[in-house]
Chains A and B, each alone.
Chain A
Amino acid sequence: MSNIKYILGSFGDPDEMMHGIEKLQENNIKIHDVYTPMPIHGIEAKLGVKRSRLDIAAFCFGITGTMTMLSFVYYAAAWDWPVNIGGKPHFALPDFIPITFELTILFCAFGLVGSYYASTHLFPGRAPRVMDLRATDDRFIIAIDAKENAEHSKIDGLLKDAGALEVKYNERKYISYE
């Protein structure tokens, strides 16, 4: 049994790569993932990638901020130390809308940066996980799990027919740690 973990088709042209994806899909070969140096229109639909749930996360972080500020303001201004300001009610909601708004935004922004780091396995100082270094530069990479798809020579042929400049057989999933 070989030690090859992933087969990478390296394309120089995004259209040829899209064509390669089609070819593989026609032959029922499961694609692990595709790495491109730039966003490519319509690729999510083609690969069947699910929509990001970042918007739901944003809403949850935002509402947490809203609740935090409202409860703190209620505690500070109406519960713990009520002060009469201009004869208004202690918990005068309109006065506290701007700060509530600000905290909503703050929680949302920080929360999203955190979620982004968590979901991409990134944070400052961490070596990024990359399957092929040129995927961040000038190559379009299709990665295929070599263990799941046994017909390696067929995959090789399909990728090359579609216009792959190079086909790599990686024994490690990520090559960027060393």
Chain B
Amino acid sequence: MGTHNYNLTEQFEFTGKAKTLSVIAIVIGIAAIAFGFSNHELHERTFANLLLMGYYFACVCMSGAFFLAVQFVAQAGWSAAILRVPQAMAKTLPIAVVILIAIVGLGLYTHNLYHHWNAPGLTDKGAANYDKIIDGKSPFLNVPFFMARQVIFLGVYSFFAVLLSKLSANEDLEGGLNSYRKSFKYSCIFLVIYGFTTPIFAFDTIMSLEAHWFSTMFGWYNFAAMWVSSLATMAIIIILLKKAGYMSFVNNSHLHNLGQFIFGFSIFWTYVWFAQFLLIYYANMPEETVYFYKRFEFYKIWFYLNLALNFLSPVLLLMDRDNKRNENTLLIVSILVLLGHWVDYYQMIMPGAVEEGQNGFGFIEIGTAIGFVGLFTFTVLTALSKKPLVAKNHPFLQESLNHHL
């Protein structure tokens, strides 16, 4: 154990190239969305893209809060030095939540994004388009209850996310174990709530786009996707900060741990994805296979690309120990995983939300994605620059600074 002379008060300055680039990205995003809304035929597709990126943005941020909670509950020491990054993501969650609720609400009330279950007549016995299945689901899938769930779930996640980052700020000022104990307690409560509600959140936001079809694996499948994409985001932020000269206290062993997380949860994602796919493939029941029929017939490239990016790339590139410890390899794999989960969400959302022939891949998709990446970068880096990069009074900080695998 050596003694270290790290600058524990170092603070990130959000200026220069990062700021310019993120603002340019936001402008591109606004241009893409404006282009989408200027043509009436593209409205549906633009809204589906907004939902995709809004959901992605919120999921990455709330999994940042989940990461914090997991570290507190596990009383993990290795991560103490990097906690400010997920904290910045957690602090951004309220912004992401407002955007997602606005997209879902506007989609519901103005553009009928969820037209599979939300259209006049679907639940009226006499109407021409009466749908018995939807009628049976209507006690759960109706607009007021749906919106209430969205607001309550996302509100509760935001509350805990902000609370955890606030407790860490208090710890900086006061020291002592008080904040840590409180963080532990609130993390336990948060994890229980989060574990039970994220599947329902995924059922609502994404699965109800095709309301006839359902899968009980879907919630965990989405959870795996949001968790691994959040880990990849964290790795990217940390590596880029290191490359910019910050966070000298983050060593290869921290990256190794993050790499293991990304590797492990990519396999977990594949496991859940496959568990859902195999049962439907094997049973071959029409009401279930309709989901994969659409994806296989009209989105075949995306279907395989999804598996290649989210399973093959982490497995092949991160299996080796040295690769997990190498900044550049980890950065590349993290970017591939993030692109992969965009593809994953794309083929979850598009077949249900956009009619055949209206879908596609072009300026709207790329532009909206770039716009949200810019928005994420801008908001998270702004939050990150508000506090020092190390929680200097974290009780496990020494363990983390000396972390060695």
Interface positions of A (Cβ within 8 A of B): 41-42, 51, 55, 59, 86-88, 94-95, 97-98
B321 touches A42 (CB 8 A): no
Contacts of A95 in B (CB 8 A): 278, 281-282
Contact for A41 among B274, B277, B404, CB less than 8 A: B404
Is the C-beta of B178 less than 8 angstroms from some C-beta in chain A?
Answer: no
6 contacts between A and B (CB under 8 A): A51-B321, A55-B321, A88-B284, A94-B278, A94-B281, A97-B274
Using known A-B contacts A41-B404, A42-B404, A55-B321, determine if residue A98 contacts B278 with beta carbons closer than 8 Å: yes
Contact for B284 among A41, A55, A86, CB less than 8 A: A86
Cα-based distance from A59 to B320 in the complex (angstroms): 11
**Beta-carbon nearest neighbor of B275 in chain A:** A98
Cα-based distance from A88 to B284 in the complex (angstroms): 10
Chain B nearest CB, measured from A44 CB (Å) = 11
Cα-based distance from A95 to B277 in the complex (angstroms): 10
Contacts of B274 in A (CB 8 A): 94, 97
Known: A88-B284, A94-B278, A97-B278. 17 other contacts (CB 8 A): A41-B404, A42-B404, A51-B321, A55-B321, A59-B319, A86-B282, A86-B284, A87-B284, A94-B274, A94-B277, A94-B281, A94-B282, A95-B278, A95-B281, A95-B282, A97-B274, A98-B278
Closest CB pairs A-B (n = 10): A94-B281, A94-B278, A86-B284, A95-B282, A97-B274, A94-B277, A97-B278, A55-B321, A41-B404, A42-B404
Contacts of A55 in B (CB 8 A): 321
**Beta-carbon nearest neighbor of B271 in chain A:** A101
Cα-based distance from A55 to B278 in the complex (angstroms): 30
- The number of inter-chain residue pairs (CB within 8 angstroms) is 20
Which residues 269-286 of B have a CB within 8 angstroms of A?
274, 277-278, 281-282, 284
Which residues 284-330 of B have a CB within 8 angstroms of A?
284, 319, 321
Interface positions of B (Cβ within 8 A of A): 274, 277-278, 281-282, 284, 319, 321, 404
Cα-based distance from A94 to B307 in the complex (angstroms): 13
Cα-based distance from A42 to B321 in the complex (angstroms): 17
Cα-based distance from A87 to B319 in the complex (angstroms): 37
Cα-based distance from A95 to B278 in the complex (angstroms): 7
Cα-based distance from A87 to B284 in the complex (angstroms): 10
Cα-based distance from A53 to B388 in the complex (angstroms): 41
Contacts of A42 in B (CB 8 A): 404
Chain B nearest CB, measured from A175 CB (Å) = 35
Chain B nearest CB, measured from A102 CB (Å) = 13
Contacts of B277 in A (CB 8 A): 94
Cα-based distance from A134 to B265 in the complex (angstroms): 43
**Beta-carbon nearest neighbor of B282 in chain A:** A95
Cα-based distance from A86 to B282 in the complex (angstroms): 8
Cα-based distance from A51 to B282 in the complex (angstroms): 44
Contacts of B321 in A (CB 8 A): 51, 55
Chain B nearest CB, measured from A63 CB (Å) = 12
Chain A nearest CB, measured from B278 CB (Å) = 5
Cα-based distance from A41 to B402 in the complex (angstroms): 12
Contacts of A97 in B (CB 8 A): 274, 278
**Beta-carbon nearest neighbor of A86 in chain B:** B284
Contacts of B281 in A (CB 8 A): 94-95
Cα-based distance from A94 to B283 in the complex (angstroms): 12
Chain B nearest CB, measured from A30 CB (Å) = 26
Chain A nearest CB, measured from B74 CB (Å) = 21
Cα-based distance from A55 to B284 in the complex (angstroms): 39
Cα-based distance from A59 to B321 in the complex (angstroms): 13
Contacts of A86 in B (CB 8 A): 282, 284
**Beta-carbon nearest neighbor of A56 in chain B:** B320
Cα-based distance from A94 to B321 in the complex (angstroms): 29
Chain A nearest CB, measured from B221 CB (Å) = 16
Cα-based distance from A65 to B319 in the complex (angstroms): 18
Cα-based distance from A96 to B236 in the complex (angstroms): 36
Cα-based distance from A87 to B283 in the complex (angstroms): 11
**Beta-carbon nearest neighbor of A41 in chain B:** B404
Contacts of B404 in A (CB 8 A): 41-42
Contacts of B319 in A (CB 8 A): 59
Cα-based distance from A51 to B319 in the complex (angstroms): 16
Cα-based distance from A88 to B281 in the complex (angstroms): 10
Chain A nearest CB, measured from B341 CB (Å) = 22
Cα-based distance from A51 to B320 in the complex (angstroms): 13
Chain A nearest CB, measured from B338 CB (Å) = 26
Contacts of A87 in B (CB 8 A): 284
Contacts of A88 in B (CB 8 A): 284
Cα-based distance from A155 to B277 in the complex (angstroms): 66
Chain B nearest CB, measured from A159 CB (Å) = 24
Contacts of A94 in B (CB 8 A): 274, 277-278, 281-282
**Beta-carbon nearest neighbor of B281 in chain A:** A94
**Beta-carbon nearest neighbor of B280 in chain A:** A94
Contacts of B278 in A (CB 8 A): 94-95, 97-98
